[in-house]
A and B are shown apart, each in its own frame.
Chain A
Amino acid sequence: MGAAPANAAGRLGRDLFLGLFASFLALPLAIVAGVSFNDSRRMRFPPEQWSIRWYVDFLHDPAWMSALRSSLLIGVCAALLAASVALPICYFEWKYRLRVARALNTLGRVPFMLPPVVLAVVFLVFWSLLGHVGRMEDVVIAHAVVFLQLPLAAMMLGFHSIDRTLVEAAQTLGARDADVFRTIVLPIVMPYVVSGMLFVCLLSLNEYIIAQMVVGFAIETLPIKIFNSLRAGFSPTMCVGAVLFMLAGLVGYTFIALISDLPKLLGSEARR
């Protein structure tokens, strides 16, 4: 009898909490997005006069566009490199339970756990000792190693979702390992491979301190460019850069959710 009002109060409390939580997460983003559509150069929220002039400015500014290009190039290359490292590790761990593969899998997850600034120093020391500084591949390799954990985790889930009887059936019918890989393993694992690569790409696009320490003096990525302009003073063009990042994240993760099972990718058990 006493349960009903308690439940109603509980539900109200829950909705209030969720609403506040969502606003806490959304407010800074909404303000930045609002400012980016403001006609005036001064910071105003809500915008007094809507305009897309800062977007036009952004697209016509060679410095911002080159930062965007470098960021995208670094993100895509880091994702490809990380995937090329993670795929053999996961395949051999899944197929043969090789001890080497398992060791590599564990080792490959370590960098992600270290504070970014320490990793930045690690790669700064490494590349300067090699005398190979200020190149784009320096930061590509750094990002691929740092974010290797993500494709490893995603692909391992993908391999574990393969039904072993399917593989056995194919082998009984005379398929060789390469055939099984091409016709069964790859199609099942592919969404997880793509998700893993997207995770690396999105995190690399947003990563600041490692890129700054390793190549910051020679190459401006988008976060570096935003940080530098942040120090120089406010300009609405920065907000445009920020909005593009949010959109990239939103589109990327929605895509992951569409091609694979997002809750499962994040560790929930499939609901029956």
Chain B
Amino acid sequence: MERLDAPQIPRRSRLPGGSFLLVWPACVIAVFFIVPFALLLRTSVARPGFGALGEGGFELQNFTGLAVDGAFLGSVGFSLALAAGVAVLSLSLSFPFTYWITRMSRRAQVVWLVFLLTTLSLSEVLITFAWQVMLAKRIGFSNLLVWLHLLPEPMSLSPNLWAVVACLVYLVIPFSVLLLFPGMSRIDPQMAEAAQTMGASPTRAFFTVIVPLMRRPIVTCLLMSFIVAIGSYVAPLVLGRPEQWTVAILISKAALDAGNLPLATAMSVAFLTATALVCGLLLALGGRGRPT
């Protein structure tokens, strides 16, 4: 092992030759990620209206203000609930889907994956726009419902909560499929077959063999879907009513419309903390049990 991993390390110095090349990535990450992130934390405790380093002072006013701001707290709660709902919904759709595509031929898999990646990388703006068009009065979807006798006459199906949820599920599904894909494609198909040979129905084999094997990927998938959904901005703004506005919208309003960077950064920090708490909780609940 050791022999393979350390081929001819130069004896003269501890660091191998050429490692000065690492200075470039180190600088980029330090200057353009660590410093900006530190500045975010710094600005969140500056006096409202100030952003500069020296004169900002140190106050917790932004945070204490947020703690009693009903609209902000309500929006945080709504965002967390919305993201959780979307994560569960998209998991329940993408799990059987991923199971089936991993059992297809390689070529069919590639076609599905290219399709998924294409929708995955489509901008939230574009997807929201597509949904807005689709839910409009004159276009397809409501006409389809009329035809199915589910609606008396064509109508606009947005803005409302369900339009937001549907659009977010659409946004999240490619992510959750791609997160389930590695684990699922490593499951030996013979496992489920063995269970069936011993008399389990395919459904039962699926729930008693495949699902427990996928415990870890399921938790990761819920986590990432939650993170993607909670950051959503365009979909709730365009397809939702103001009471369905997520924290992301409030943050961008504070930063751009009100120009109050200390407030926007404090909101970001509070929002990150809330998200991290939920993720930590989920990991604590789901991380138990043996890794697969």
Residues in chain A within 8 A of chain B (CB atoms): 3, 6-7, 10, 14, 17-18, 21-22, 24-25, 27-29, 31-32, 35, 42-45, 81, 84-86, 88-89, 91-92, 95-98, 100-101, 104, 107-108, 110-111, 113-118, 120-126, 128-129, 141-142, 144-145, 148, 164, 167-168, 171, 177, 199, 202-203, 205-209, 212-213, 216, 223, 226-227, 230, 234, 238-239, 242, 245-246, 249-250, 253-254, 257, 262-263, 266-269, 271
Give the CA-CA distance A269 to B4 in the complex, in Å. 22
**With contacts defined as CB atoms under 8 Å apart, how many contacts are there between chain A and chain B in the complex?**
270
Within 8 A of A (CB), among B1-34: 4-9, 15-19, 21-22, 24-26, 28-29, 32-34
Given A97-B5, A223-B126, A246-B118, A120 and B252 touching (CB < 8 A)? Answer: yes
| B78 partner residues in chain A, CB cutoff 8 A | none
Give the CA-CA distance A96 to B16 in the complex, in Å. 8
Judged by DSSP, the binding face of B is helix
Q: Let me know if A253 and B22 touch, CB within 8 A.
A: no
| B130 partner residues in chain A, CB cutoff 8 A | 28-29, 31-32, 242
Q: Let me know if B122 and A245 touch, CB within 8 A.
A: yes
Q: Which of A96, A101, A199, A230 contacts B132 (CB 8 A)?
A: A230
9 further contact pairs, Cβ within 8 A, besides A123-B36, A208-B123? A44-B139, A85-B24, A91-B21, A97-B5, A114-B272, A117-B231, A121-B251, A230-B238, A262-B113
Given A89-B25, A129-B39, A116 and B134 touching (CB < 8 A)? Answer: no
Given A120-B252, A177-B18, A249 and B43 touching (CB < 8 A)? Answer: no
Within 8 A of A (CB), among B82-114: 93, 96-97, 100, 102, 106, 109-110, 113-114
| A129 partner residues in chain B, CB cutoff 8 A | 39, 51-53
Q: Let me know if B272 and A85 touch, CB within 8 A.
A: no
Q: Let me know if A100 and B22 touch, CB within 8 A.
A: yes
Instruction: Please tell me which stretch of B65-73, B146-154, B263-271, B283-291 contacts chain A, meaning at least 4 of its Cβ atoms lie within 8 angstroms of it.
Output: B263-271
Give the CA-CA distance A46 to B21 in the complex, in Å. 56
Residues in chain B within 8 A of chain A (CB atoms): 4-9, 15-19, 21-22, 24-26, 28-29, 32-37, 39-40, 43, 51-53, 93, 96-97, 100, 102, 106, 109-110, 113-119, 121-134, 136, 138-141, 170, 173, 178, 181-182, 185-186, 196, 201-202, 227, 230-231, 233-234, 238, 247-248, 251-252, 255-256, 261, 264-265, 268, 271-272, 275
| B251 partner residues in chain A, CB cutoff 8 A | 117-118, 121
Give the CA-CA distance A214 to B77 in the complex, in Å. 27
Q: Let me know if A268 and B227 touch, CB within 8 A.
A: no
